Structure 1
């Protein structure tokens, strides 16, 4: 099959990295200075986060650093946003933790690689714009659920509990904590409180300072000064490697690919949604526009490469992207330099990172969990109509108590049914004697009030889609005596789908059986095009298509007018 050249050119235009655009426009020394300063600032923020996110995901801290370096560089280099910063994020913690527990780290590598391929395919198929239609209650619900999962996953280190591995499921996790609450370490609790307090204080009083890093340094200093008996990175994971990340291909369970596909889809979905949300936020702060399909391709490349180097899933990070913009980042070089600075920090500071106490990293993630909980959005959505509240609570509950993949699937499906119900209720099938619709300029109330005998008219207000299609039968069924002519007014129908066309064909058949002539009036461009594509055309004796209601009335009058020579008695 030959693909038209214009389709290829348009696809290439939509996936072209913003880096290419910047280079065509010209890159100056002043831009480099601004990007270097912004990249350094973001790297200082990303360093503690990358380690904390990796530990919370059930793996070693260097995996988070490797992800920030490899994926962070590639997301900026190939992305569709000038200022997007990529790397590991908190949204992946629940799904990554479960995958590692069930399938081992090799399973996560395969899962991340599959997700990367899915994202590349989505970008090449130009599906980036579809991400915009994700229902907000679903996003808020699973984001709040992820926040609860992250918060509860940090209780062990925050309290210094003497226990084994933390269960992946929510209720068993709480039960395990309850069974070991007597082993709470006061020193760990004090460090957690110090870390959270320092971060909150600095955010309020010195918002431009790197609060996470300062809190980590303060907690590490206190731990060393008083020789506090708490777990550190070194005591649990050993010294971080002082080397460039290399190919890391552990035993990969290819025979379990089918089992991993749902988790891979969840990772791809989260990476796509979060990166595009971050890009939209960046657009609002910079006044520029991102290329959504290029962003998806970049996420796919970055996740595939991260998997090959033994890293974690990655996506665009809203907080780090905002930090980049506030620090003066102008082009994708800021994100690429941020990754290089993280690499330098890892090579230089690795021997000292072993002293970082785990309660301090738990404090960082407790604050992260609060930040992504979107508590205000949650409260606001709880004031929405019942359908939105149902979707929100259902998605939230399934995320916390069951599984993120199931939560997203069920949330989207229920949201779709809620939407269909609302649209079906909103679309009106009104009689011909109702108020004149705007836009049908040739129509007036006197014409409607004087419909000829044997003529009925109904108006559809709104899209004629699968949720509404069945109501056409209801409109025709209400006539005890079927009319001679049935006018279906569609001047206020902006769109129609395949289900709507099938419903009209079914209505045409019923009219033919009942001896009723069908007239469709006021077709707008999209319905008219779909009519032509799906073979619903004018057919004398059965179906007439009129430009407006006035023409439909004239056709109806001619159809019900007595034939000359017939007995009029």
Structure 2
């Protein structure tokens, strides 16, 4: 007898992992391990948060604010033990477009609304469905984002001077950058090249060292040593403040809410996918299991709070979460401490940020973009099937040349259609042939008539088995296969034991087949139908006396012969 699996309670589904960890006798040794991991992640997040904000068309302090406020709340309320929240490279293009279209106030309002959407999605259990995004879509989307990020950093990498604001669309952007090539800055190229070289070398030879921070520090020292007029955080933004701003609600009006609502949904969709993917990565590295809906609730609260402090979109970040796990984190406190360490940097060392050259931060993002492209996965998908390759390329091209949300939605639709096509092709209708006498019952349920070898070869009874998910995509082909049965037997046996799923369209097609068979006065016996499938068939009129149901195929064959034995024409 199968063991009963207890469904988790509401509290178990929505309890943050912080509470779970503290219940497990969290001790001083755990805190020390989390402190080391939190410091390690903060060192990675420090240059990255500022670089993402600048690439998004914002000041670097907004990136730090997002990492501090969002990072603290994501870890405190997350459904994953090791999730690190903050600004993510995947949002750069969408955030930059929102700033251009609606301004910083519009961005903050969209961020707050996205938090509310994530809260509702988590509270209503929609987090379960985000995991159905096809893998080729996520790979193509990530690769497309990487291309856009890299293109957005060419100006800073080369120190170009553009006479007008940099265009948003990729082709127009590359054209404007090509026209500005005569203004290339040698010192900027030197700083960017040194920074990229340091990051690559540290990752290869000293992978546990903070390569991003070392590269930014080295780039800053080189800029100071050259005494060259390269752009820095100080020259463009005037530095960063020493503290967080006071919380306040963004300006809201019905017109403004409606204007930014599509962007808010895009933020929520992208943030939900990114955070749940990050939680899955952490699960695969640790053997733990995250709570997807609790994760979305935590992300929602973090986005609302980030917006109140002037930050922007918060999500779970895969690279920083993986760094957290590798650094030996024991639980969510490491992520909370990472936010505390970032706040201490802002409070105590803010003046140092003024000397950071933008070329060094651009180099950080260029390396991040290169690492975002899942090269092995792309090759695997291209080799796997033409369908997966088509979904991958469509998503990639739409993200790069059209729109992020459009890329995800169309990629998802293509992936869903591809899946339905494959499932439909997997459904088979085959002639079962003779039934082994060893499998036959001693007697039919009607009694008296024993199953023997003659029954297995009786031309008056045709036995067909349907196997696979019998749904709307396969209903037409199955119905056609049943209608193509050349002979006109006196009884049909349809074995449904290999059908795990049957929908209303399939039930209607079976009902139509039964109706045609009854017109010819042929008996129909269905075998092996699961209780849920039987209930659906009943709802669509496939029920006794039009058909007979039996649990096993030999019993169904015997029932078909019993029906023939009492036919009116036979009795006459």
- Report Cα offsets for 1:239-290 as digits up to 9, x if no partner: 2111223225454564154453443233222222222222122122222222
Pair 1:67 & 2:73 matched? no
RMSD over equivalenced CA pairs, Å = 2.5
Distance 1:255 1:127 in 2: 28
Other-structure match for 1:234: 234
Structure 2 distance, partners of 1:407, 1:459, is 41
Question: What stretches of structure 2 of length at least 5 have no aligned partner?
Answer: 1-5, 442-450
1:363 is matched with which residue?
363
Counterpart of 1:3?
none
Cα distance in structure 2, aligned partners of 1:494 and 1:13: 30
What does 1:394-409 align with in structure 2 at a 5 Å threshold?
394-409=394-409
Counterpart among 537, 540, 543 of residue 538 in structure 1: 543
Query: What's the offset of the Cα at 1:218?
Result: 0.4
Cα distance in structure 1, aligned partners of 2:238 and 2:331: 37
Quick one: distance in 2 between partners of 1:564 and 1:359?
A: 92
Task: Spell out, residue by residue over 1:171-198, the C-alpha distance to the aligned partner (whole angstroms, 9 max, x if none).
Answer: 1111111221211111111111011001
Does structure 1 residue 140 correspond to structure 2 residue 145? no
TM-aligned CA distance change 1:519 to 1:159, over 3 Å = same
DSSP-derived class of the 2:525 partner: strand
The list of structure 1 runs, each at least 4 consecutive aligned residues, that deviate by more than 6 angstroms after superposition, is: 445-449
Partner secondary structure for residue 495 of structure 2: strand
Farther-moved stretch of structure 1 (78-87 vs 244-253): 244-253
Shift, 1:528, TM fit = 3.8
Alignment map for 1:117-136 (pairs within 5 Å)? 117-136=116-135
Whether contact under 8 Å (1:432, 1:459) holds in the other structure is: yes
Give the aligned partner of residue 35 of structure 1: 34
| Corresponding position: 1:335 with 2:331 | no
Aligned residues: 556
Contact 2:114 2:300 (C-alpha < 8 Å) held by counterparts: yes
* 2:448 corresponding residue in structure 1: none
Classify 1:412/1:174 alpha carbon distance in 2 versus 1 (closer, same or farther; 3 Å).
same
For the 8 Å contact 1:106–1:252, the answer to whether it is kept is no
Q: Is the 8 A contact 1:202 1:209 kept in 2?
A: yes
Give 3-state SS (helix, strand or coil) of 1:489's partner: strand
Q: 2:3 is matched with which residue?
A: none
Does structure 2 retain, via aligned residues, the 8 Å contact 1:249–1:310?
A: no
CA distance 1:134–1:434, change in 2 (3 Å): farther
Match of 1:499 among 458, 480, 505: 505
2:159 is aligned to: 160
CA drift at 1:417: 0.8
Deviation per CA, 1:453-510: give whole Å up to 9, x if none: 3432221111112211222321232145654322221111122233333333343344
Q: What TM-score do you get using the length of structure 1 for normalisation?
A: 0.92
Question: Which residue of 2 is the match for residue 473 of structure 1?
Answer: 479
Q: Secondary structure at the match of 1:458?
A: strand
What are structure 1's unaligned runs of at least 5 residues? 1-5
Q: Which whole-Å deviations, capped at 9, do the CAs of 1:418-456 have from their partners, x for residues lacking one?
A: 1111111111111232899xxx9659x996994533432
Offset of residue 562 of structure 1? 6.1
Q: How does 1:306-325 map to 2 (within 5 A)?
A: 306-325=306-325
Q: Quick check: 1:200 aligned with 2:200?
A: yes
Q: Distance in 1 between matches of 2:116 and 2:434?
A: 54
CA distance in 2, matches of 1:159, 1:565: 93
SS of 2:430 mapped into structure 1: strand
- 8 Å CA contact 1:324–1:334 kept in 2: the answer is yes
Superposed counterparts of 1:243-392, under 5 Å: 243-252=243-252, 254-392=254-392
Task: State whether structure 2 residue 86 is matched by structure 1 residue 96.
Answer: no
1:356-392 deviation line (CA, Å, top 9, x unaligned): 1000000000000011111221111111111111100
Residue matched to 1:556:
560
